[in-house]
Structure 1
């Protein structure tokens, strides 16, 4: 168990947390750039903030699991009553945001006539606030899971223990089943159904677009390009839908792989199992996967979104073509001279005289 604790909570978990915090910070920076529509960016920024808070609030958890909190009353109260409430609230908030993004894509692809009515910044903000409130209300009963106990009256050391009077009742088990259904199992079912419908409808729409083209037109579905008279005209909306769906599928797969084990852990949790090595191994794997869910969304964005990669590269590397054009315009104005000469400058892809 000592070796397991060392590997899981002193090496892997801190590494995931550090990488996840950096990745989500980069997400927020890149998502501040307008490469997606405003409503979608609101959802993705909220998802990055939720994941960032999950990772930050898991730092005290790692401290507790490594037994370095020192036994102070402040840490004991935090670990007993606040730790799980805060972490679970932001985990649930993150899950609901992914579900909201999937619902948005479902409306866009399957019920496009309602999309413009529902796809507004106001509705997005109302949805996010409602999700956070529901996540918090669902997590609040975890306040009762542990008790603070004094272990050494002379040294004023405190510890936490399971609140058996609460956790061994049928009401607590009913609460766990309801909370897991609302936070993990229910959203998982919704994601499966909606993504299946989205993929099916998207394929039908793609086939119809191909059939509606006249013989002189060609559609390159691999690259989402309309070829007309030898000229390629890119369908921006089609490309955006396609990439967002790929991104959502990646996030959904990541969700299933990382969240379902922690859901099983919540239902099986018991202090009496802590002395079993098999239970501790499963607990460590489930906790690490849950941490990875918040840490690896950056990888999903990077691998599945060309616009995200372009936005990320623009932070560190300036566009050499744009710089050459700027220098050319400056040199041309210097050569021409005069107060009445108009020069064309190019700034961020826009022209101005």
Structure 2
């Protein structure tokens, strides 16, 4: 049975432990991906798309990390900045999520053109076109969700807080600020000389008196309290319905349908290409050397194209496995009343984690399926290791020379 307390505990574990770990590792992985794909010998239109995908995934995970601040509502200036910027953070997180989806669609279509219509490859599958498409997608997704920040507003209040008990003491603070509470010493009983203390607050405005908690009166202090509240726009039914329908259709349903169709076509093309490669390898012995050389080049080209296509297919398959459940959830949430609030809350936590995993996992796919990526990664890591060891060796030699100079100075004196 999903209770409010169990859901809050589950959310706290996910948001403060599991999700941050995924996001931090994913951010590091995407930085590494961007470094690899921007190496000079790795430049290609496909890798430009993959660089942009790593960039979008990085910022999506970066903004997802901000969920940690939901568990700190007071005392810290950086928490105030977070809640002040909350609407913008939600907007950019959503925008980068849609940018990631759009880029995945773009490189899938580009790959289909490259392998299905190779004659048009030089015209449509260029680095210049890839850059223009990426810029257009960034602008479209950011401007398409620009209303999001206006759904939230920043709230700054002062509250009473007992640092010893961790409880709020607004009533005691109000009494302390408006009137001094009356302190009364009462004997415990007739035979006991010890006393107990009570604090009575006189609420003149409401013409009443009430007893206060002694611990809170003695330890209650004023603190700054920050949070975000939803604006009237968020409660506007017409706006919510239009925004939900438009966003779901443009940024979720259409891209997923396009990905399923084109990915299926790519899988079919890879299968056909594999069959063609098998036929080409069965070359008759009587054929000329030039024919054999041409055949070998064709086999090599088909093999290279297949490898690139398989990497992209794997990215899309993992993407669909992680995103389709979220898309189904969004449709049920916005357009039906089947899900209870507890179940919807629980599913949102799980599916958000699944989307985070999708944004963090591409490095594993690249390492497992791309030989060029593995070679470049190993070369880069060797370079970094060499530089680190050279720096350490240089520092050690410098310290030794300084030590030798010191010893020589002592000896000659």
TM-score (norm 2): 0.66
Comparing 157-166 and 11-20, the one that deviates more:
157-166
8 Å CA contact 1:24–1:295 kept in 2: the answer is yes
User: What is the aligned partner in structure 2 of residue 142 from structure 1?
Assistant: 148
Say whether the 8 Å CA contact 1:54–1:91 is kept in structure 2: yes
Give CA-to-partner distance per residue, 1:203-227, whole Å, 9 cap, x none: 3344345546642399xxxxxxxx9
Q: 1:121 corresponds to which residue? A: 127
The answer for the alignment partner of 1:336 in structure 2 is none
Match of 1:311 in 2: 376
Q: Does 1:293 align with 2:362?
A: no
Q: Quick one: distance in 2 between partners of 1:166 and 1:14?
A: 28
Conserved? CA contact 2:37–2:43, under 8 Å: no
Distance 1:78 1:149 in 2: 11
Which residue is 1:337 aligned to? none
Whether the 8 Å CA contact 2:273–2:302 is kept in 1: the answer is no
Q: Distance in 2 between matches of 1:217 and 1:4?
A: 70
RMSD of equivalent CA atoms: 3.3
Matched-pair contact (CA < 8 Å) for 2:150–2:233: no
Give the 3-state SS of the residue equivalent to 1:159 in structure 2.
Answer: strand
**Deviation for aligned residue 1:111:** 1.5
Kindly provide the CA deviation profile for residues 53-75 of structure 1, in whole angstroms up to 9, marking residues without a partner as x. 111122222322x3456586533
Relative to 1, partners in 2 of residues 1:200 and 1:264: Cα closer, same or farther, differing over 3 Å? closer
Q: Which residue in the other structure is 1:202 paired with?
A: 270
Q: Look up the match of 1:252.
A: 316
Partner of 2:84: 77
Match of 1:215 in 2: 284
* Bigger Rg, structure 1 or 2: 2
Give the match's secondary structure for 1:161: strand
**Structure 2: stretches of 5+ with no match in the other structure:** 1-6, 160-221, 384-413
Residues 139 and 237 from structure 1, CA distance in 2 versus in 1: closer, same or farther, beyond 3 angstroms?
farther
1:310, 1:85 → 2: CA distance?
38
Per-residue deviation, 1:269: 7.0
Conserved 8 A contact 1:257-1:289: no
CA gap 1:228/1:87 in 2 versus in 1, 3 angstroms:
same
User: 1:182, CA displacement in angstroms?
Assistant: 2.0
Tell me whether 1:14 sits opposite 2:45 in the alignment: no
Calculate the TM-score normalised by the size of structure 1: 0.76
Structure 1: runs of 5 or more not aligned: 219-226, 319-353
Q: CA deviation at 1:148?
A: 3.0
Per-residue deviation, 1:180: 2.1
Structure 2: distance between partners of 1:150 and 1:228: 77
